[in-house]
Amino acid sequence: MTEPLLRVENLVVDFPDPHRSGHRVRALDDVSLTMHEGEILGLVGESGSGKTTLAKTVLRLYRPSEGRIALNGVDIACLDEAQLRPYRRRAQMVFQDPLSSFNPRHTIGAAITTPLLLHRVCTKPVARSVVERILADVGLPAGFASRYPHQLSGGQLQRAAIGRALALSPALLVADEAVSKLDVSVRAQILNLLKRVHANHNLSLLFITHDLHVTKFLCHRIGVMHRGKLLEIGQTSEMFARPSNEYTRSLLQTIQ
């Protein structure tokens, strides 16, 4: 087996307790997992189970209290912002609410252009053509580059968010409840888009959701989280057929 793209070992995240001065709340408790190139891993669990905290910590939007986060074999858990910069391109995120993730004063084209220029993917004179190619890749007309976020529907805006994330050619894409705010018909379109870009770009996808139907459709493996712990992880077919944890079995019973 080749070295995993992502290896998380004994990850712990504590936050200050807002109700008790000097105390801390444990959001992640000794979480370990691996992801290989080209894999789609789903994380499921109830609200507050730690799914989003794990995703943001993997991307180093949160700094872990303990543990390792090895991206391509390099532990990024304790790197400062300057040291992290080369790895920011390698892992990108698509958020649950695309509208709040865009600056309302910037056009869609400007939102995609900014990371291209910051990471020197292309020069400003050719950025427009690159943006048009990115929009086409996610099923949006080139003219959408001049539109503002509020002028797009939820599905269109999530396509733009996926395009912005793909602009830096990441190895890992993290999607945090990326379809939960969309209508059922639009949700299916975005899931099919994620499947297509996963195949076309040969990227790994960490997909966070509370919807087990979605994981069955999209994911190669599923990890189940509860109260900050990763209870079990395995192949999707095995998890649905023979879950080993009682909590997983209770989750599966809710969709039968």
Give pLDDT tens digits along the chain (256 positions): 578 999 999 999 999 988 888 889 999 999 999 999 999 999 999 888 999 999 999 999 999 999 999 999 999 999 999 899 888 889 999 988 888 889 999 999 999 999 999 888 888 899 999 999 999 999 999 999 999 999 999 999 999 999 999 999 999 999 998 888 888 889 999 999 999 999 998 899 999 998 888 999 999 999 999 999 999 999 999 999 999 899 999 888 876 5
Between β-strands 24-35 and 6-16, what pairing exists: parallel, antiparallel or unpaired?
Answer: antiparallel
**C-beta atoms surrounding 150 within 10 Å:** 9
Position 1 scores a pLDDT of 55
Could you give the dihedral angle defined by the CA atoms of residues 47, 230, 98 and 88, in that order, rounded to the nearest 10 degrees? 150
Name the one residue in this structure whose structure tokens are 């698509």: 94
Q: What is the largest CA-CA distance in the chain?
A: 57
8 A C-beta contact, residue 94 and residue 164: no
- Among candidate residues 60, 55, 58, the one with its CA nearest the CA of residue 6: 58
* Residue 65 backbone phi and psi in degrees, to 5: -80, -35
- Are 159 and 124 a contacting pair, CB within 8 Å? no
Closest alpha carbon to 206 in 185, 230, 241:
230
Q: State the residue for tokens 């297509």.
A: 196
Interstrand relation of 172-176 and 91-94 (parallel, antiparallel or unpaired): parallel
| pTM score of the predicted model | 0.92
CA dihedral 187, 192, 195, 197 (to 10 degrees): -100
Evaluate whether 42 touches 221 at the Cβ level (below 8 Å).
Answer: yes
Rounded distance between C-alpha atoms, residue 72 and residue 74, angstroms: 6
Query: Under a CB-based contact definition with an 8 Å cutoff, are residues 159 and 139 in contact?
Result: yes
* pLDDT for the residue 256: 56
Look at residue 99 in the predicted model and tell me its pLDDT: 87
| Strands laid side by side in the 40-44 sheet | 91-94, 172-176, 204-208, 40-44, 221-226, 229-235
